[in-house]
């Protein structure tokens, strides 16, 4: 009870904080609000501070910084979508990506000593000041005794407790939304918060991030020009992660990228294909691809860092996703619609033909268009309206994929305003479909079917014993089926023989 009450007051505090920064309904957008929102905006601005930043995005960034790391993650996503929230607004939010205030050197060295039982001087020949600070950790450049330059990531003090507190508050907010705003239930607010919460809790254990970096490094082999820094396992722990140092340009520094000799359109294409290749081919992907976590080497290689949030997608979901993307790429909207229905994304009582027509209404206006010719905010609004019309509910298992796709395209558009995500995706999707739906995929399907059959056959003797025991109990009168006719022993024997015969025939057909 006390915990719920505390979460409620923190939720109220969050709303007050946003109001004080004029970040709920910013005055700059007053003219586009409906009458009711304009009135609400005037009321909330009565609590706003005087002399705040001129940029509404910067005001929101400052509010989110004061609220905690979980809120900052939301702002990082918005910062990549200048085409949706406006370029000026996105620039104001950019500070959330890697420019947050760092914590002191004394605290950093204290964490190192606690984690490894030795002072920082014994771990590193040199430990420099923080070079980047984000919501959960900050990074120092250091040098080992053997002369290697490394990046040392150290968790912020007390960040685990703050995230746990944020999660309780967000969970309460999601529950209140589902109760008092029935329209929000389709978006599954509580499941969404649960999904994000799990990823945030994992992000506070850097041993898991080290494992994720190692796993993604193997997956990155399928993508051309995509690399992951190597992990220094001997200098990594629960609150410290040490990796190879990367001399590259952060993609959050658009000015440096523009001044370099990098091929920005090629870089945007490489980024899009790297994300899709690892997701489709290996079922694992970097799920926090904001510009602050991405770097470009002199040779155009894309480097990714910060693996606290990893996304995974099962083979069945990958197949449905590829079929949907392929349908859009080939303008076969009926095939894309059938994939939605087969995956269970659209309830069966709707018409496949009607849904295919709705997809056509989304796809045709943007097909073949450059990114700078597509008003993405309008496309997202149209997609939201379609999901509402066809009772599509948020799929928690795809939350990370959808979020990362939005982030990835946003960064690609920053690199190249004319970026064609469909064109960049086409080779990856087509290659994956040829492999999955061709002979190689069929052989893999057969192997998985045989494994399931093997598992089922191993369970068969136990099931037969259970049936025999139930039959003996019924025959002896020790077990009665209330309200149902008496089952004769001969009926049980027939049922048992039929089940055994069916299982044997299935096994023989599959194996021979």
Residue 120 falls inside a structural domain: no
Residue 301 falls inside a structural domain: no
Catalytic residues: 288
User: How many helices (DSSP H) and strands (DSSP E) are in the chain?
Assistant: 22, 10
Three-state secondary structure call for residue 23? coil
Can you give the three-state secondary structure of 267-319, one letter per residue? Answer: HHHHHHHHHHHHHHHHCEEECCCCHHHEEECCCCCEEECCCCCEEECCHHHHH
DSSP assignment of 145-183: TTS-EEEEEEEPTTHHHHHHHHHHHHHHHHHHHHHH-GG
Q: In what order do the strands lie in the sheet with 137-143?
A: 126-133, 137-143, 149-155, 240-244
Residues 131, 94: Cα–Cα separation, whole Å:
16
Residue 48 falls inside a structural domain: yes
- Torsions phi, psi of 127, nearest 5? -135, 110
- Domain residues for the domain of 471 are 443-511
Tokens matching residue 125: 């020949």
Please compute Rg for the chain using Cα positions.
27
Whose tokens are 């898991």? That residue is 208
Q: Angle at the Cα of 447 (from 443 to 448), degrees rounded to 5?
A: 120
Q: Of 71, 96, 121, which residue constitutes the final position of a domain? A: 96
Residue 168 falls inside a structural domain: no
The domain total for the chain is 2
Q: Are 406 and 77 in contact (CB under 8 A)?
A: yes
Residue 24 falls inside a structural domain: yes
Tokens matching residue 328: 């859009």
Q: What is the signed CA dihedral for 219, 286, 201, 188, rounded to 10 degrees?
A: -120
Residue 325 falls inside a structural domain: no
Q: Are 244 and 238 in contact (CB under 8 A)?
A: no
Residues 464, 412: Cα–Cα separation, whole Å:
58
DSSP letter assigned to residue 438: S
pTM for this entry: 0.69
Residue 21 falls inside a structural domain: yes
Can you give the three-state secondary structure of 207-248, one letter per residue? Answer: HHHHHHHHHHHHHHHHCCCEECCCECHHHCCCCEEEEECCCC
Residues 392, 77: Cα–Cα separation, whole Å:
23
From first to last of the 512 residues of the chain, give the pLDDT tens digit: 566 667 666 777 777 777 777 777 777 666 666 777 777 777 777 667 766 667 778 788 888 877 777 777 677 666 655 555 666 777 777 767 666 788 889 999 999 999 999 999 999 999 999 998 877 889 999 999 999 999 999 998 888 888 888 788 878 777 877 777 776 666 667 776 776 777 777 778 899 999 999 999 999 999 999 999 999 999 999 999 999 999 999 998 888 998 998 999 999 999 999 998 999 889 999 988 888 889 999 999 999 998 888 888 888 888 888 888 788 878 899 998 998 898 888 889 999 999 999 989 888 887 766 666 666 556 655 676 787 788 887 666 676 787 788 788 888 988 998 888 778 888 888 888 787 766 665 666 566 666 766 676 677 677 676 667 766 776 676 656 555 445 455 444 544 444 454 444 444 444 33
Q: Of 61, 96, 131, which residue constitutes the final position of a domain? A: 96
Q: Of 96, 112, 132, which residue constitutes the final position of a domain? A: 96
Residue 36 falls inside a structural domain: yes
């Amino acid at each position: 009870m006390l915990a719920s009450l505390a979460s409620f007051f923190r939720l109220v505090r969050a709303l007050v904080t946003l109001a004080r920064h004029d970040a709920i309904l910013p005055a700059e957008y007053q003219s586009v609000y409906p009458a009711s929102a304009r009135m609400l905006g005037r009321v909330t601005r009565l609590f706003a501070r005087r002399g705040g930043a001129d940029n509404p995005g910067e005001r929101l960034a400052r509010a989110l910084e004061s609220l905690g790391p979980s809120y900052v993650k939301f702002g990082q996503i918005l910062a990549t979508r200048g085409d949706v929230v406006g370029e000026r607004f996105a620039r104001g939010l950019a500070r959330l990506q890697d420019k947050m205030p760092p914590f002191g050197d004394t605290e950093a060295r204290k964490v190192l000593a606690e984690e490894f039982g030795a002072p920082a001087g014994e771990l590193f020949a040199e430990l420099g000041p923080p070079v980047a600070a984000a919501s959960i950790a900050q990074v120092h450049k250091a040098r080992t005794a053997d002369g290697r330059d490394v990046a040392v990531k150290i968790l912020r003090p007390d960040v685990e407790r703050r995230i746990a507190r944020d999660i309780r508050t967000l969970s309460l907010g999601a529950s209140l939304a589902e109760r008092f705003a029935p329209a929000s239930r389709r978006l599954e607010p509580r499941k969404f918060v649960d999904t994000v919460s799990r990823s945030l809790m994992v992000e506070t254990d850097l041993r898991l991030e080290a494992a994720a970096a190692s796993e993604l490094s193997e997956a990155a082999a399928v993508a051309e020009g995509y690399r992951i820094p190597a992990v220094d396992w001997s200098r990594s722990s629960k609150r410290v992660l040490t990796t190879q140092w990367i001399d590259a340009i952060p993609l959050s520094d658009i000015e440096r990228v523009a001044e370099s000799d990098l091929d920005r359109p090629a870089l945007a294409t490489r980024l899009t294909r790297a994300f899709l290749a690892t997701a489709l081919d290996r079922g694992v992907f970097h799920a926090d691809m904001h510009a602050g976590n991405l770097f470009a080497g002199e040779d155009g290689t894309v480097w990714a860092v910060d693996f606290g949030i990893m996304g995974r997608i099962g083979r069945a979901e990958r197949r449905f996703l590829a079929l949907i993307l392929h349908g859009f790429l080939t303008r076969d909207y009926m095939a894309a619609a059938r994939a939605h229905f087969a995956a269970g994304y659209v309830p069966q009582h709707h018409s496949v033909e009607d849904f295919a027509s709705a997809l056509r209404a989304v796809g045709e206006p943007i097909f073949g268009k450059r990114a700078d010719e597509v008003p993405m905010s309008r496309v997202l609004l149209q997609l939201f309206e379609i999901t509402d019309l066809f009772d599509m509910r948020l799929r928690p298992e795809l939350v990370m994929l959808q979020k990362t796709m939005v982030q990835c395209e946003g960064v690609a558009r920053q690199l190249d305003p004319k970026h064609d995500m469909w064109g960049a995706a086409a080779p990856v999707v087509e290659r994956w479909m040829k492999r999955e739906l061709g002979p190689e995929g069929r052989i893999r399907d057969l192997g998985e079917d045989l494994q399931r059959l093997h598992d089922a056959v191993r369970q068969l003797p136990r099931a037969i014993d259970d049936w025999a025991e139930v039959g003996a109990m019924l025959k002896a009168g020790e077990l009665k089926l209330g309200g149902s006719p008496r089952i004769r022993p001969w009926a049980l024997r027939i049922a048992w023989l039929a089940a055994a015969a069916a299982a044997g025939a299935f096994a023989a057909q599959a194996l021979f």
